[in-house]
């Protein structure tokens, strides 16, 4: 993997905007949740973007987090005994977390890319993925979520409605407002387009 030097000009501006999206208060909440969900053996990161990145970078804590949301015996990610030290193994571990998170229900638009975490390109995206995962866990309410349910917003759930055949038939006879109205102003007395107005004195 090539070393990435400092950014200049437009790319520096873009990187600066991405970095401003990182929320340090949200970082504290996510760290609290991960520690409660996985147990105190995962430790705690140094405060700030860099500490958060280094803490999650090898993918082991992320894998433990997603595994803790599944019932015993159906853990989607294999967590190695010793944290991987080789770069490609660490990236592979993060990719396994992303696949398991998607299987849990996190949408593709809420997912970060492996390089966002690994190279620190967009840690706000990492926070967004973890928020989506937490929201899903609170919404599912299947007993695997540990922590304060108020830390995450519940996702909207489907509210399916059933109509009887007679209700459906009645609906066919209602003229919706989108179709216009047969009351009020009309086009009576208007001439066709392109014809001169008849002025008779």
Residue 92 has pLDDT above 80, yes or no: yes
CA distance 134 to 56: 16
Phi, psi (degrees; rounded to nearest 5) at 93: -65, -40
Contact 102, 129 (CB under 8 A): no
pTM passes above 0.85? no
The pLDDT value recorded for residue 9 is: 61
Q: pLDDT digits over 137-168, tens only?
A: 888 877 777 777 777 777 666 667 777 888 87
Burial of 86 (0-12, 13-18, 19+ CB in 10 A): exposed
Which letter does DSSP use for residue 70 in this model?
Answer: S
Which letter does DSSP use for residue 79 in this model?
Answer: P
CA distance 138 to 140: 6
Q: Which domains does the chain have, with CATH numbers?
A: 12-151 (1.10.418.10)
Token digits for 157?
């759930």
CA distance 128 to 18: 13
The pLDDT value recorded for residue 157 is: 60
Q: pLDDT digits over 28-46, tens only?
A: 888 888 888 888 888 888 8
Query: Sorting pLDDT into bands at 50, 70 and 90, what band is 1?
Result: very low
Q: pLDDT digits over 110-137, tens only?
A: 898 888 888 888 888 888 888 888 888 8
The pLDDT value recorded for residue 99 is: 92
- Report which of 47, 66, 84 is spatially closest to residue 133, judged by C-alpha positions: 66
CA 139 remoteness from chain centre: 14
Q: Got the DSSP string for the chain?
A: -PPP----HHHHHHHHHHHHT--HHHHHHHHHHHHHHH-GGG--PPSSHHHHHHHHTTSHHHHHHHHHTS-TT--SSPPPSS---SHHHHHHHHHHHHHHHHHHT--GGGPPPHHHHHS-S-HHHHHHHHHHHHHHHHHH-SS---S-GGGSPPPP--------HHHHHHHTTPPPGGG--SSS---TTPPPTTPPP----
């Amino acid at each position: 993997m090539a070393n990435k030097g400092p950014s200049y000009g437009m790319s520096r501006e873009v990187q600066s905007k991405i970095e401003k999206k990182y929320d340090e208060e949200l970082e504290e909440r996510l760290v609290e949740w991960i520690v409660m969900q996985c147990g105190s053996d995962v430790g705690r990161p140094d405060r700030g973007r860099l500490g958060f990145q280094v803490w999650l970078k090898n993918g082991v804590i992320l894998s433990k987090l997603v595994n803790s949301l599944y019932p015993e015996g159906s853990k989607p990610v294999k967590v190695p005994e010793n944290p991987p030290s080789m770069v490609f193994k660490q990236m592979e571990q993060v990719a396994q977390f992303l696949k398991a998170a998607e299987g849990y229900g996190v949408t593709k638009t809420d997912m970060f890319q492996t390089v966002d975490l690994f190279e620190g390109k967009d840690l706000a995206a990492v926070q967004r993925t973890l928020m989506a995962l937490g929201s899903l866990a609170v919404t599912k309410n299947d007993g695997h979520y540990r922590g304060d349910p108020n830390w995450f917003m519940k996702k909207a759930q489907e509210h399916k409605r059933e109509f009887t055949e007679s209700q459906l038939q009645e609906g066919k006879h209602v003229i919706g407002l989108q179709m216009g109205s047969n009351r009020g102003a009309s086009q009576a007395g208007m001439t066709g387009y392109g014809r001169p107005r008849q002025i008779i004195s």
